[in-house]
Amino acid sequence: MSTITLHGHCHPRFLRVRDAFLHNFSHDLEVGASVAIYHRGELVVDLWAGLADRATGRPWNRDTMATVFSTTKGLVATAFLVLQARGELQLDTPVSRVWPAFAAHGKQHITIRQLLNHRAGLSAVDTPLTLSDWHDQGKVEAALVAQRPLWSPGTDQGYGATAWGMYTGALFRRLTGEEVGTWLRREVFEPLGADVWLGTPSSLNARIATQHAVPTEELAKVVLPKILRRNTTEGRVYGDVLFRHGSLSARALRNPDMGPARMEAVNDPMVRALQLPWMGAVGTARGVARVYAALAMGGSLDGVHLVPPQAIEPLKGIQSWNDDDRVLRRPMGFSQGFLKDTPQLLSPHPAVFGHTGAGGSVGLADPELQLSIGYTMNRMDHHIRSPRCIRLCRAMYETVGMPVRARDGIGTPVVTPA
């Protein structure tokens, strides 16, 4: 058990979230982390604790940022949402109308909506790439154009762990003439005062937490038995990645090659400077929660208008669903690039949208309850959905009287609201 000093503030009504946050530390599940929640436009939880770097003992401070991995995808989906609300794209338009070369090899009828919702058959890119290739967009786009759909577009769903960001980033450049991170900074993050970046300048390096890989002991005692038994989502997916290189899970998760550092490659400032639309965003929990607070409040926050309320309505529903996603081998869905997760996992009702990231980071908006949450951390986790993230989300809903009716033992016991 670790001794931890908690910093920040928590509205008395949300003390369950504070307790859940402390639980994660007291059970040695965190190195450093932060969580923030907005309710009805007010910042009601803003907590941080632990270490930004275990090796040096650098503390996690109020302005410490962390790489949020696939939580980035929800921020990129926000950029497409704003473009759509401004009339600068139509979701059911073929991608090839904007990007003619994309049509090659049977991709001519794929729509922007199908691409955003992981239904384009483009969950993997088979041309080998490395992160350094992002200095040569021509090489990357040639690989994207050369790819053939892996199933008939529009008929099924497979999570594009990296490919989704490659394709949406290239499409965004065609739509706007600039990188999505640059655009987000000017059009979303700066107007909202959200401390989030996609393409992090070197001047911010001292504020960024070091990501720590899954401990070797956890890999040996927990992950390896799951792989051998293949009776869990993690066991099936990681087994495919390690031993079935031709499987769709392996193809989707292993390219581009991140080098010997693997997920810890994000500790390299040169990697963080790249605008990687599938994993490269860096921010505070407060910043992530603030972006989603605007969406939870109908598209506006503190006088900043991102989209009109009618643009939020389609996100409450589920536009794509698969009980056994072709890549992540679990129930999940999407609406315009935003994750719609398994019912009764993170939230008690389907109107919630956002995205999670490797290790457990999350950004979610609940437009029905005008709630949003951001959670950032620097201890990686082998779970497809981190128990730490789940525990925080469930505590948030218990606070507002809508507990998640979960059956997996994570979080506190379910109590039916009066």
356-366 tens-digit pLDDT: 999 999 999 99
| Cα–Cα nearest to 321, from 303, 345, 340 | 340
Angle at 341 between CA 235 and CA 197, to 5 degrees: 95
Q: What is the pLDDT of residue 410?
A: 64
Measured from the Cβ of residue 349, the count of other Cβ atoms closer than 10 Å reads: 14
Are 239 and 303 within 8 A, CB to CB?
no
Give the integer Cα–Cα distance in Å for 291 and 379.
Answer: 23
Sign of the dihedral through C-alpha 27, 29, 32, 33: negative
Are 321 and 119 within 8 A, CB to CB?
no
Cite the beta strand spans of 268-411 per DSSP E. 281-283, 300-301, 304-305, 320-322, 332-335, 338-340, 353-356, 362-366, 371-377
SS3 347: coil
Cite the beta strand spans of 245-317 per DSSP E. 281-283, 300-301, 304-305
Give the integer Cα–Cα distance in Å for 148 and 169.
Answer: 18
pLDDT band at residue 273, thresholds of 50, 70 and 90? Answer: very high
Contacts of 212 (CB under 8 A, 6+ apart): 31, 54, 264, 378, 379, 380
Q: Considering the chain, what percentage of its residues have pLDDT values greater than 70?
A: 97
SS3 47: strand
Contacts of 409 (CB under 8 A, 6+ apart): none
Summary mean pLDDT of the chain: 93
Give the integer Cα–Cα distance in Å for 123 and 326.
Answer: 9
pLDDT band at residue 407, thresholds of 50, 70 and 90? Answer: low
Q: What is the pLDDT of residue 2?
A: 55
Q: Cα torsion for 391, 396, 402, 408, to the nearest 10°?
A: 0
Q: Cα torsion for 55, 57, 62, 65, to the nearest 10°?
A: -10
SS3 7: strand
Q: Which two tokens stand for residue 395?
A: 């505590």
CA 330 to chain centre: 16
Are 67 and 280 within 8 A, CB to CB?
yes
217-272 tens-digit pLDDT: 887 888 788 887 877 887 888 888 888 888 999 999 999 988 887 888 999 999 99
Measured from the Cβ of residue 265, the count of other Cβ atoms closer than 10 Å reads: 18
Are 355 and 361 within 8 A, CB to CB?
no
pLDDT band at residue 214, thresholds of 50, 70 and 90? Answer: confident
- 28 or 61, greater pLDDT: 61
Q: Which of 35-44, 68-77, 379-388 has the lowest mean pLDDT?
A: 379-388
pLDDT band at residue 412, thresholds of 50, 70 and 90? Answer: very low
Give the integer Cα–Cα distance in Å for 161 and 184.
Answer: 21
pTM of the model: 0.95
Longest alpha-carbon distance in the chain: 59
Q: What is the pLDDT of residue 413?
A: 34
